[in-house]
Each structure stands twice: as structure tokens, then as C-alpha cells.
Amino acid sequence: MLLCLPTALRIAAKMEASRTTRFAPPFGSGREPFGSFAITKARRRHSPGSQLISQNAAYPFHREDVTRQAGRRLACQPSDADTSHMLRASRAVIIAFLSGVGMAQSLPCDAAPREIPIAITESSDRPDPRKIADYASAIDAIVRVLMQKFDLPVPRHTFTIYRTREEFEAALIEHMRLAPALAQSTASFAQAAVGGQRILVNEVEVEKLSWPERIELIAHEITHTVQLELAGHRSLVRQQWLTEGFAEWIAYSVTESLGLDDLSRQRARIIALLRAEGGVGSLPSLAEMNTLAQFIGARRKYGFAATFSHSFLIVECLMKRHSFGAVVEYFRHFKVSGNYAANFHLAFGEKVEDFEAESARCLTRLLI
Ligand SMILES: [Zn+2]
């Protein structure tokens, strides 16, 4: 539960830290940004214009930006409020709080987000999956499939639902360390984000989806927490086609297991879509979907189907060539080493370059 005063303390601490600390540099610098992996996505299956936003751009925080966010959070200002007013208000709140005046208590606070443990519930009363219409039941059903059918370790993270874009935006900064400008643009359309042992949910966007679509989305995001758990919570910022493709495959498998969808129908839909978009020749290479930044760039350049759905097909090819268990082992190898190429070779017994040639043949057979 987020409370105003502890939040003020954390933000004040961040402000203090930002005076001397520059966070890790952006992508492509060769340094791993932060210690956690996180990705958010906005996926509207029927809206090809939707965008992916992924975090860890790792821009440095600026004191003024954090203060502006503090103003929005602490003073509960509307999003179109005058910035300079918010800056003054937030500074006043923080200064007053730090000096013991307790002024923050007199200001209205954000409503606390809803928090649901990501775990199997104790309840024996499980609804028909086709009638699920609440997050707790959806999470329970998904986690049961992940643990009982796929034997995957689901960490006890928290599913946190933010009712407004402003709260979601503040949470992206607090829990995922997004730069304020990126948090603001992300919150304008992103549905969810994974990081800081949480799945952050932008309810404004997610409530536009049907419940089967929400279950597919939640299963995708929970799969990212599983990947992190397997990897010992090491950053997973390379070979994104594998990370995203596996999350897509699991999400479709979960909805199929719950009787909400059919994996073969989804596969046929994706193949038809990719054929219509130009087939193999119009798809990005694995190298173009390697880092988070590259995956975002490919998503923008080629679209959702050519990145996420394409990655789903590649991972299916990978699992047919090797096995589901080999993919799980790939993520487990990160507990020991952060060397992506070495971990790929250890898990699959071949270099990623060799697999790419096989993947091209596999996709050609599918998309011809
Ligand atoms: Zn994802």
C-alpha cells in the first residue's frame, strides 16, 4: 500500500540521491541498465498503430523532474495542472514534511492502488474460466496453469492496479525507475509494466480489453516474472525475441488451457497476418530484435505482428528443434552467467547464428 508520507520520504531521498547520482546510461552503451529487467507493452490486437514501450531507457533523473512528479503525487494535482504551481506545491510539501510541520497530512492523497498477490488462492471456489471477471480469479487461474501444467516457478510478486494514468505514471518512476518524460509517454498508452517485483497495471487501458484478452495479457506479464525468477533476477536485456516470443507462447497456451482460445487458431491467424504483410522478407532479423532498444525500434519500424508474433513463431521453431525444457534451461543459465551467447549455446547446443539460419528455413516453410 502506498502512503503519502512514506512516499514523500522516498521521493525526497530520490531527490537527494539525484544531486550526486547519475543513473546508468541509455541503451547501447555496453552497460547493463540497473539490476532488474522490465518491459511494458501496449498491445491492442486489432490496432496495428499501437505501440510498444519498454523501460530501462535509463535516462538520468533530474531533480526538477522528480519534484514535478512528487507534486503530482503528493498534491494530487490534475494532470493538466500548471507545472510551476505543482513545483511550488510539491517543494512546499516536502520542505514542510522534512522540517516536521506535517503539512503533507493536510493535503489530499492519491487513492491507494489495489494490490493482489500473484499466487494460487486458498479458495476452493474456482469459477469457470469463461466467466472470470475479476483480477484475483484471473491470476489464480493463470498461476495454476503455469505451475501445474508447465511446472514453472511463479514468484510471489504483486499485481498492482492503478486507476488513473497519473498514478500509473508515478508508479513507473517509483518502481521501474523510468525517466519522468518516458513515464509520462508510457502511461498515455501502455497497459502494464513488469519490474521491482511487481506487475504494474494501467487500468485505464486494460479495462478496454475483454476478460479473455486481459487473461492473455496478464499471462504474458506473469511469464516475464517467471523468466526473472528462473534467471535469478538478473537483467534480461538481450535476445529479446526469445524473451518476448516465449511470453507470447505461454500466454496463448494459458488461454488455450483455460478453454478461452485455441493455440492453433492463433498460429493460423499470425501466419496469415505475416503472409499478408509480406512474408519472410519483410521481417526483422534476430539481431534487429536483440536488445530492448532494438526490439522497440523493430516494433516501431515493422509493427506488432512482425516483432511479437514473429518472435512467437521463432520460439515455436526453437522448441520444435530442441524442447520446451531447453528454453526454460536457457533462462536458468542466467543464474550463473550473464553471457547471452554462452547461455544460448549451453541450453541449445548451437550458436544463435546457426539457429537463425534454421529459423529462417522454419519460417519460410510456415509463411510460403
Ligand atoms: Zn513482454
Mean pLDDT by 10 residues, the chain (368 residues): 28 30 23 33 35 29 33 35 35 31 37 92 85 96 97 97 96 91 87 92 95 97 97 93 98 98 96 95 96 89 95 98 98 97 98 95 95
Q: Who contacts 29 (Cβ-Cβ below 8 Å, separation ≥6)?
A: none
Distance from residue 54's CA to the centre of ligand 1 (Å)? 9
Task: Tell me the residue length of the chain.
Answer: 368
Residue type present at position 154? V
Measured CA angle at 102 (ends 99, 103), to 5 deg: 105
Return the pLDDT at 53: 31
Q: Pick from 217, 204, 226, 298: which is nearest to 37 by CA?
A: 226
Distance from residue 122's CA to the centre of ligand 1 (Å)? 28
Grid cell 509494466 in the structure block, residue = 193
Q: Pick from 116, 22, 108: which is nearest to 62 by CA?
A: 22
Distance from residue 245's CA to the centre of ligand 1 (Å)? 8
In the chain the beta strands, taken as DSSP E runs, fall at: 40-41, 114-117, 158-162, 192-195, 198-202
Distance from residue 104's CA to the centre of ligand 1 (Å)? 37
Residues facing 40 on adjacent strands: 193
Return the pLDDT at 110: 54
Distance from residue 233's CA to the centre of ligand 1 (Å)? 16
Q: Structure pTM?
A: 0.73
Distance from residue 247's CA to the centre of ligand 1 (Å)? 6
Distance from residue 80's CA to the centre of ligand 1 (Å)? 30
**Cα–Cα distances in Å, from 251 out to 45, 147, 277, 278?**
14, 13, 23, 26
Distance from residue 62's CA to the centre of ligand 1 (Å)? 28
**HSE, side-chain direction, 13 A CA sphere, residue 94:** 25
Q: What are phi and psi of 277, to 5 degrees?
A: -85, 0
Distance from residue 192's CA to the centre of ligand 1 (Å)? 9
Distance from residue 150's CA to the centre of ligand 1 (Å)? 18
Q: Who contacts 95 (Cβ-Cβ below 8 Å, separation ≥6)?
A: none
Grid cell 518516458 in the structure block, residue = 182
Distance from residue 165's CA to the centre of ligand 1 (Å)? 20
Residues 67 and 90 sit within 8 Å (Cβ to Cβ)? yes
Distance from residue 93's CA to the centre of ligand 1 (Å)? 37
Distance from residue 24's CA to the centre of ligand 1 (Å)? 22
**HSE, side-chain direction, 13 A CA sphere, residue 1:** 6
Distance from residue 26's CA to the centre of ligand 1 (Å)? 20
**Domains within the chain, CATH numbers bracketed:** 1-20+59-110 (no CATH), 24-58+111-367 (1.10.390)
Distance from residue 113's CA to the centre of ligand 1 (Å)? 22
Return the pLDDT at 41: 46
Quick one: how far is CA 80 from the chain centroid?
27
Q: All 3 cell numbers of residue 142?
A: 493463470
Distance from residue 207's CA to the centre of ligand 1 (Å)? 19
Question: What is d(CA 108, CA 29) in angstroms, rounded to the nearest whole number?
Answer: 42
Distance from residue 289's CA to the centre of ligand 1 (Å)? 13
Quick one: how far is CA 264 from the chain centroid?
25
Distance from residue 71's CA to the centre of ligand 1 (Å)? 31
Quick one: how far is CA 307 from the chain centroid?
15
Distance from residue 112's CA to the centre of ligand 1 (Å)? 26
Question: What is d(CA 331, CA 347) in angstroms, rounded to the nearest whole number?
Answer: 9
Distance from residue 3's CA to the centre of ligand 1 (Å)? 29
3-state SS class at 152: coil
Quick one: how far is CA 111 from the chain centroid?
23
Distance from residue 213's CA to the centre of ligand 1 (Å)? 15
- What is the three-state SS of 211-229? HHHHHHHHHHHHHHHHHHH
Question: What is d(CA 30, CA 351) in angstroms, rounded to the nearest whole number?
Answer: 21
